[in-house]
Amino acid sequence: MKKTAFLFPGQASQYAGMARELYDGYDDVRDLFKIASDILEYDLADVCFNGPESKLKQTVYTQPAVFVHSCAVDLLLKNEGITPHVAAGHSLGEYSALASSGALDFESGIRAVAIRSRAMQEDCDRHPGTMAAVMGLEYDDVVEILKSAPGVAVPANYNSPGQVVIAGEVDAVDKACDLLKGKGAKRAMPIPVGGAYHSSLMDTSSEKMRKFIMEELTLSAFRFPVYSNVGAEPVDNPVRYKTLLADQISSPVLWYPILQNMYQDGIRRFIEIGPGKVLQGLVKRSLNFDDIELSGVDNLENLIDFLKENAEVESA
């Protein structure tokens, strides 16, 4: 049986109507939304189901929505005895991965995500920024080219070979895109997020989360390792992971190195857990090997299909 990884998405995976069928079909999912809504002090289900998209795009709503959707799918799979050998999450998704591993209980997770999203929204409001996906240049080349870009424009996500996301001030990112295209990028296009995540424009939220994580957040024993965004290596030590998580907001997401390391560690089955198919696309572009199996679980229909076809997933 192939070793399995659960992959958890981050922002830009949200959409109006997300998790509605799961909510309608399962008491456990309704319970998660009730807990989250009580902590958030607003009706998260209403935001997820009805949007509008402009509201759901706002960081303060996006992050809890994606986190709870992902945790709901993870819970339903675990109720059927389906668990991975390892996990990883893209930016915000790292909190979902930690919850899946048992290192972070759901209530603590939604509290952490609430603090994270509010702090990052404040940074977004204070320092308006944006992000753009750059295609056709490698990470090291983007790093070097951006050194000559005016303003704040930095690498934020190393997503796959030839795809790097940059973040920064709106004008600076626009100019950086032109500069990168002039240096050989095939495309440089904006992505639907509400701020310049993983850049210096997030310094205030980064320090708030660092203080919260190091002083208040408790991580418990891991049932399986989680690959860190910052180091791209599997970690199952709570003390070590807290330090890495504290660095996350202000550091680039090393997603492609994570996938490379997973493959080298024997992972051959990758399952995206939560809204959308963004991470499945990144696996396809990153691991072009015949022995890879790739799937995702988002809504009720593909949950049922997955359970019918994949109930034999080997538990760790």
User: Which residues are known catalytic residues?
Assistant: 91, 198
Extract the tokens encoding 164. Answer: 């790097």
- Give CA–CA dist 93/48, Å, rounded: 17
- Give CA–CA dist 116/308, Å, rounded: 37
Q: Which helix (H) or strand (E) holds 25?
A: helix 20-25
- Are 8 and 273 contacting, i.e. CB atoms less than 8 angstroms apart? yes
- Are 92 and 63 contacting, i.e. CB atoms less than 8 angstroms apart? yes
Peptide bond into 52 cis (omega under 30): yes
Enumerate the β-bridge partners of residue 297: 273
Residues sharing a CB contact under 8 Å with residue 200, sequence separation 6 or more, in sequence order: 152, 154, 250
- Sheet (strand 3-8) strand order: 234-235, 226-227, 86-89, 3-8, 267-273, 293-297
- Are 22 and 73 contacting, i.e. CB atoms less than 8 angstroms apart? yes
